Amino acid sequence: MRSALRTLSHWTSLITENPMNALERRSVTALAGLYSFRMLGLFMVLPLLSLYSERFAGSSAFLLGLALGAYGLAQALLQIPFGLVSDRIGRKPVIVFGLLLFAAGSLWAAQAETIYGLIGGRVLQGTGAIASTVMALVADLTRDEQRTKAMAVVGISIGASFALALVLGPLLASWGGLSLVFYVTAALAVTGIVIVWRAVPTPSPLPGVHRDSGTVPSLLARSVLDVGLTRLNLSVFLLHFILMAGFVVLPLIMEQALGLHRDQHWLVYLPTLLLSLVGMVPLLVWGERKEHLKAAFVVAIVLLAISQGLMGNPAGAVGFYAGLWLFFVGFNYLEATLPSLVSKTVYAGGKGTALGVYSTFQFLGAFAGGALGGLTLQYWGGGAVFSVCIALILLWLLVIFGMRPPRNLSDVVLRLPADESQWDKRLLPLRNAAGVEELLLLKEQRTVYLKVDESVFDRSLVIEPSA
């Protein structure tokens, strides 16, 4: 109980102490709404596509799985390029363009009559790859000390949209079929465009400077090859593989094995998701203590493995629902924890680049899970899908065996003067300063990125000298 109260006190102080200013509150609220609307549209089809195979000519389990994950392939291929373009022409035009593509794909899917038309619509939806650009805009519009709070607000909105989508999707489909779900998705995309133009401020341009939120091409290889980041990238790949593969099969089990009509599936998802939030609390409290972070991470993965066994071989409805609950507990905890671990693990100056690579792996996992889950279901049955997921989870545990909890270091950004002859005067005191764990100089940006231990670092070293 004391640990829970300390955790609650920590988050309360995070929100109430040093609050955001009016511009930051407006920006974060609008962008969290934009992100949640977009993700709501993507998530609503998860519990539905495998149930509506009879609507699409030429459909099979594999092709339906491919349709489920197809958006992820386009997202993975375009996530980093969209981010790089937004660094050059601005975030808002790229976001609006992406939302237009997403709306067009939704309308295409709503009118599709064949499985190939549906796949085409889902691919077009995925070409609106704006996730990393939206997060970069959040960073552009918030001060360094408010960025963690802002990212947390957006993360909460994503989690809420996932929960709402699993309830709202089946409800909408019961009223107007799968087409209505896609039409509502298109309407949400258009609403997002209105939010971008009317509610989101335009950040001040910073000529020649990529902020830590942007993708730096010269750092891409390092983000891919870094051992600590690779573990986290593979983790999010496997997490979303298991999610998408599971939803190829789960709706079919609920309708065919448990006899629950598709219009009533939301009655299962709603209480299960709410109870999963209760199940997350012990993991969050335990994992917040630095020495237990890895243990909580492992426990969440083990919960996923147990859930696959229970759902793949349910001893009646109770066993299946218990497995579904454990799955949502583990998934929601890991989904919330992984981005934070990336931010804490990444090298100096690489946060935006690392998160772009992380998002790419996330969407690749969604594509692979849908496609391979559908293929496995078609040729070997639903039980084999869960067996594949269990095997991958065991591999996952091996991958993170050597993972170490990240150190509690802070990010510091120092802008250098235009006169290069003055750089040494700023840099020399930093190179051997106590508490500086890492220093990265990007000359083309005239920017220095530091990882520092705040307990011993002298902040006066990075204060801009007075004119």
pLDDT category at 14 given cuts 50, 70, 90 is very low
Burial class (CB in 10 A: 0-12, 13-18, 19+), 119: buried
Q: Which domains does the chain have, with CATH numbers?
A: 20-204 (1.20.1250.20), 215-406 (1.20.1250.20), 410-462 (3.30.70.100)
117-131 residue pLDDT tens: 999 999 999 999 898
Instruction: Check whether 369 has a pLDDT greater than 80.
Output: yes
Across 94-103, 112-121, 436-445, least confident range: 436-445
Q: What pLDDT, on the 0 to 100 scale, is given for residue 209?
A: 45
Taking residues 315-329, report their average pLDDT: 91
User: pLDDT tier at 25 (50, 70, 90 boundaries)?
Assistant: confident
- Between 419 and 184, the more confident residue is 184
229 vs 250: CA distance, rounded Å: 31
pLDDT tens column, 353-363: 888 899 899 99
Q: What percent of the chain has pLDDT over 90?
A: 45
Q: Which has the higher per-residue pLDDT, 313 or 372?
A: 372
What crossing angle do the helices spanning 316-345 and 293-312 adopt, rounded to 10°?
A: 150
* pLDDT for residue 8: 41
What dihedral do alpha carbons 404, 408, 413, 414 form, nearest 10°?
-110
Q: HEC profile for the chain?
A: CHHHHHHHHHHHHHHHCCCCCHHHHHHHHHHHHHHHHHHHHHHCCCCCHHHCHHHCECCCHHHHHHHHHHHHHHHHHHHHHHHHHHHHHCHHHHHHHHHHHHHHHHHHHHCCCEHHHHHHHHHHHHCCCCHHHHHHHHHHCCCHHHHHHHHHHHHHHHHHHHHHHHHHHHHHHHHHHHHHHHHHHHHHHHHHHHHHHHCCCCCCCCCCCCCCCCCCHHHHHHHHHCHHHHHHHHHHHHHHHHHHHHHHHHHHHHHHHCCCCHHHCHHHHHHHHHHHHHHHHHHHHHHHCHHHHHHHHHHHHHHHHHHHHHHHCCCHHHHHHHHHHHHHHHHHHHHHHHHHHHHHHCCCCCHHHHHHHHHHHHHHHHHHHHHHHHHHHHHHCHHHHHHHHHHHHHHHHHHCCCCCCCCCCEEEEEECCCCHHHHHHHHHHHHCCCCEEEEEEEHHHCEEEEEECCCCCCHHHHCCCCC
Higher pLDDT, 123 or 17: 123
- Is the pLDDT at 239 greater than 90? The verdict is yes
- Mean pLDDT over 365-388 rounds to 96
Integer Cα distance of 467 and 463 in angstroms: 12
- pLDDT higher than threshold 70 for residue 213: no
Of 17-21, 139-143, 234-238, 349-353, highest mean pLDDT? 234-238
- Residue of higher predicted confidence among 187 and 342: 187
Q: What mean pLDDT is predicted for residues 426-431?
A: 82
How much is the pLDDT for 5?
A: 42
Proportion of the chain above pLDDT 70, given as a percent: 91
Q: How far apart are CA 345 and CA 343, in angstroms?
A: 6
